[in-house]
Amino acid sequence: MTFLNLSPLAAALLAAATAAAVLALFFLKLRHRRIVVGSSLLWERVLRDGPAHSLIERLRRLLSLLLALAIALLIALSLGRPWLAASEGGPRPLVIVLDTSETMRALTSSGRTRWEAAVEVAEGVLAASVSPAGVMAADTSGLVRTPLTDDHAEVRGAIARMRPFPGDGRFPEIPVADARVYFITDGVRPTPGVPDGAARVSVFEAADNVGVTAFEIADDPTSPSGYRAYVEVANYSPSAKRTDVVLAGVGGQRIVRTADLEPGGAWSETFDLEGFAGGGVQVRARADSDRFPADDEAFGYLPARGGLRVTLVTDDAGGHLRTLLELAPEVELNVTTPAAFEESATADVYVFDGTAPPAPPRRPSLLFGPPDAEWLPRILGRDTDIRISSWDDTHPLMRFVPVQDLGIDGAAVVDPEGRTVVASSGGTPLILIDEDTGPAEAVVVTFGLDESDFALHLGFPIFVENALRWFSGETLPENRRLGEIEFPEGAEGIRRLNGTPLEAVIRSGRPVVQVTDPDLLTATVDGHRYRLAANLTDPETSNINGTSLADAGAATAPPAGNELWIPMLLAATLLIALEWWTYHRRVTL
């Protein structure tokens, strides 16, 4: 017999203290009433010859004490949750593997999570199994958390340190042969690598869940400065759910929708964020009896608008570029000629139209068809057969910019060494990004606006808008799944939306943080603000009732060990009743 809540020493001390207390109380109870009788002559005869001195009577006198001791010890030791271990087969190592997938955080009807139930089952397996060959604990992060040991406390400690985490799991490699493997899981997330002989112990319990399965903020292609948010909410509960979907911005903006979702049904809507100020945006799905809070909310980031001071350096007083910048609501435009150009402390961004300064400016710059300059990519020649053949539409600069049908009469052929090419025509770079040469970034378009129809093209305002946002650092954040999140090299000062710093570990030169709940993370990379939205938004994970253990025989029962506290308390109750009965019939004291 083992005690789940007590060490053997503590159990022995508890038993000794209880017995001592019972004995003290018993002998206090034995203080007799003083009764004077006329003569004790006949009593003496009775006691000398009668039943009081018989063996049965002596045992009867002890019966009360024995009953009291038994009752007290049963109650006291039941507090230690004793288990009666069951021996199984021969001396095979025991391996306990816990499923640490995100769905294990779902709540059960008892208010505990599946994970807490799994830990309890694991402790039960540990207590119920006699394994002289040792025990080992592991989880579906793929790691074996303890060596093969006979120290159950070490195994319990390792299990207590395990946590469910988002992301794909995998079954660990079991380093011992012929082991009895118990895999404690809810069977929702697929776990590759489970050996055939492993016994699956299910902690699955059906639960209601309505979750946000998609949330994305993107540029509004129809508006140069607009953004839209796409929200999808799905109901994975066994019953229909009325759900409130709330989209909220940091400036107090709020959009509320109510959706009636059938079991398995989904609801989606694209919201115009015109009225939202820049900053964090949260979407939240609220439904009754929701048992999986991890997917009830998701975060995004809306770049700030306005306030960008742009100096346009051009000889074309009435060109399309000037018109575009003048119309941009977030731009404070200053126009000058190349001859009058001087760097100014009040400028945030420079736009050079057909010209370039002799030295790299201290602020980011966008250059269209620049002449040769020392700090710019060296011009090798000129190419007139231009047809954009490749572009990186994942780069913030090129997002939503259609360039495949651009008509370009000619472009300078430059050496792209040390620059990032985001659009090119064959081997001729057309748009380059230079982040290293000068004190600030520069975007070089190797053809002039008067050499192409780019200024009249649908993607031109988007390109300029993208360039200005990229320069200002106010770009849409990257979206990542919860779990281990990797930041760019050099990222520092990683914080949550509420300002709490996150501890990062450096892996391959990149900071990596563990994120278990939806959040909007910020960091500083090379002086720029870097944002990252970490959300669950995963239909497979939100479907917490999609277990593979629902079929009969898919799961096995934990090994037969008996938790003894219930029978012990029942026995104590019976003994109390027996003591009451015997006391009132003067059988006991």
Partner 1 sequence: MAWTAVAGFDEQFMRKLEYLALVSKRFSGQFKAERRARKLGSGLEFADFRGYVPGDDFRHLDWKTYLRLGRLLLRLYEEEEDLPIYLFVDCSQSMSYGDPSKLEYAKHVAAALCYIGLANLDRVRVIAYADGIRNEMAPQRGRNQIFRVFQFLSEIDPGGQTHGREAFKMFCTGSRRRGLAVVISDFFEPNGFEYGLNLLRYYRHDVFLVQVAAHEDLHPDLRGQVEMVDSETMRTRDLTVTQTLIEAYRREMERFSEDIRRHSVKYQLGYVRTVTDFPFEDLILQVFRQGRFLK
* Positions that interact with partner 1 (CB under 8 A): 29-47, 50-52, 57, 60-61, 585-587, 589
Dihedral sign from CA coordinates of 218, 221, 225, 231: negative
Closest to 495 (Cα-Cα) out of 280, 219, 246: 280
CB of 25 to partner 1, least distance (A): 14
DSSP 183-221: EEE-S-S--TT--TTPEEEE-------EEEEEEEEEE-T
**CB nearer to partner 1: pick between 25 and 327:** 25
CB of 104 to partner 1, least distance (A): 59
CB of 26 to partner 1, least distance (A): 11
**CB nearer to partner 1: pick between 502 and 589:** 589
**CB nearer to partner 1: pick between 33 and 111:** 33
CB of 6 to partner 1, least distance (A): 36
Residue 307 burial (C-beta neighbours within 10 Å; 0-12, 13-18, 19+): exposed
CB of 47 to partner 1, least distance (A): 6
Helix H or strand E segment including 256 = strand 254-261
Return the bridge partners of 84, or none. 562
Question: CB pairs under 8 A, 24+ apart, for 279-282?
Answer: 279/249, 279/250, 279/251, 279/304, 280/249, 280/250, 280/497, 280/520, 281/217, 281/229, 281/247, 281/248, 281/249, 281/250, 282/247, 282/248, 282/249
**CB nearer to partner 1: pick between 27 and 239:** 27
- CA distances from residue 267 to 264, 273, 274, 466 in whole angstroms, order as listed: 10, 19, 22, 31
Phi, psi of 478 (to 5 degrees): -80, 150
Give the count of beta carbons closer than 10 Å to the beta carbon of residue 504: 19
Dihedral sign from CA coordinates of 186, 189, 195, 196: positive
Cα distance between residue 254 and residue 148, in whole Å: 55
| Tokens at 108, concatenated | 């059960």
DSSP structure class, residue 109: T
**CB nearer to partner 1: pick between 34 and 318:** 34
Cα distance between residue 437 and residue 433, in whole Å: 10
What is the greatest pairwise CA distance in the chain? 139
CB of 573 to partner 1, least distance (A): 24
CB of 572 to partner 1, least distance (A): 24
**CB nearer to partner 1: pick between 37 and 345:** 37
**CB nearer to partner 1: pick between 39 and 346:** 39
Give the count of beta carbons closer than 10 Å to the beta carbon of residue 299: 26
CB of 107 to partner 1, least distance (A): 55
CB of 27 to partner 1, least distance (A): 11
Return the bridge partners of 352, or none. 313, 367
CB of 67 to partner 1, least distance (A): 15
CB of 577 to partner 1, least distance (A): 20
Please list, in sequence order, all residues whose beta carbon lies within 8 angstroms of the beta carbon of residue 312, skipping any fewer than 6 positions away.
321, 322, 325, 333, 334, 335, 336, 351, 353
**CB nearer to partner 1: pick between 43 and 581:** 43
**CB nearer to partner 1: pick between 47 and 550:** 47
**CB nearer to partner 1: pick between 339 and 584:** 584
**CB nearer to partner 1: pick between 23 and 130:** 23
Place of tokens 């570990």: 505
Task: Write the Ramachandran bin of 111: left for phi over 0, alpha for psi from -120 to 50, otherwise beta.
Answer: left
